[in-house]
Structure 1
Amino acid sequence: MSQSRTDGTEADSSAILSALGNKYSAEILCAAGTPKSAQALSEDIEIPIATCYRRIEELVNAGLLTCEGRQLSEEGRRTNIYRRTLDEIDVDFSKDRPQLSQKRRTEAKNRLQDQLRD
């Protein structure tokens, strides 16, 4: 995992903080440590599917969640599979603007976790 202080714009920080501030966003990120569909996330954290899709879109736009591909659902439909892009985020409010530090997930960690899950 790499840890980095965000060098992004104030808009990036605002998008991240806004996405994290919405109800269920943190729960979705916690549940998305392994690849999951919106339906699986909705069921895991017991939220309406429409709400889950809205939060997923916000988290993807903020760069906190990524679509890892598509797979067939039990009903035979192609569905997107999501996984979080980081394991930790710290917010420092001691400056004029919030400063974010993130521990990004590495592809090696994702592959190892996938192998342990199978």
Structure 2
Amino acid sequence: MSKEWDPENIFDVLGNAQARQILVLADLKPMSAQELAHHCETSLPTVYRRINELVNYDLLQKQTKTEDGAHYQVFKTDLKKVCFEIDEGGFTIDVQLKRQMVDKFEEFWQNFQMSDEKRSDLE
């Protein structure tokens, strides 16, 4: 179950240099926790803590890969953009995920197909 964003926790999560580094690396290509630990030059338990936090906030997506009959997890960045706005003495935040863009396209495509079917029914 994913957690909801508020300004307090987004600063906590994205304020961590290792979390930001994981997001950048996993944006280049899906990587295993071991690969991320190697590139971040940190311990595997530390990387797993950051991964779990990023996955909980839907910023990182788990994918299962199979190689030579063995299954393992890789992680891919889902974060597209974070915008902060200071207004009326407070913060507002807008988090856009890459998956949301895919979902929007999928919705558009489904609507397009339905409208195409309606047109063919009318003919």
Q: Give the TM interval when normalised to the shorter protein.
A: 0.5 to 0.7
Q: Is 2:22 the counterpart of 1:28? A: yes
The separation in 2 between residues aligned to 1:46 and 1:26, in whole angstroms, is 14
Shift in Å, 1:102: 3.2
Tell me, yes or no, if the aligned pair for 1:19 and 1:58 is still in contact at 8 Å: yes
Tell me, yes or no, if the aligned pair for 2:59 and 2:97 is still in contact at 8 Å: no
Q: 1:78 to 1:103 in 2, by over 3 A?
A: same
The equivalences for 1:34-53 within 5 A come to: 34-53=29-48
Shift in Å, 1:71: 2.3
The separation in 2 between residues aligned to 1:82 and 1:97, in whole angstroms, is 34
The separation in 1 between residues aligned to 2:67 and 2:50, in whole angstroms, is 20
Q: TM-score, normalised by structure 2?
A: 0.63
Q: Which of the numbers 79, 86, 99 marks the counterpart of 1:86?
A: 79
The separation in 2 between residues aligned to 1:25 and 1:32, in whole angstroms, is 11
Partner of 1:5: none
Shift in Å, 1:16: 3.1
Partner of 1:3: none
**Greater RCO structure (CA 8 Å; 6+ sep):** 1
* SS state at 1:47 partner: coil
Tell me, yes or no, if the aligned pair for 1:35 and 1:81 is still in contact at 8 Å: yes
State the number of aligned residues.
97
Flag the structure with higher helix content.
Answer: 2
Q: Share of identical aligned residues, percent?
A: 27
Q: Output the aligned Cα RMSD.
A: 2.7
Larger radius of gyration: 2
Where in structure 2 are there 5+ consecutive unaligned residues? 103-123
Runs of 4+ residues over 4 Å off in structure 1: none
Shift in Å, 1:43: 0.9
Q: Is 2:2 the counterpart of 1:12? A: no
Which region of structure 1 is more displaced relative to structure 2, 28-37 or 82-91? Answer: 82-91
Where in structure 1 are there 5+ consecutive unaligned residues? 1-8, 108-118
Partner of 1:113: none
The separation in 2 between residues aligned to 1:39 and 1:60, in whole angstroms, is 16
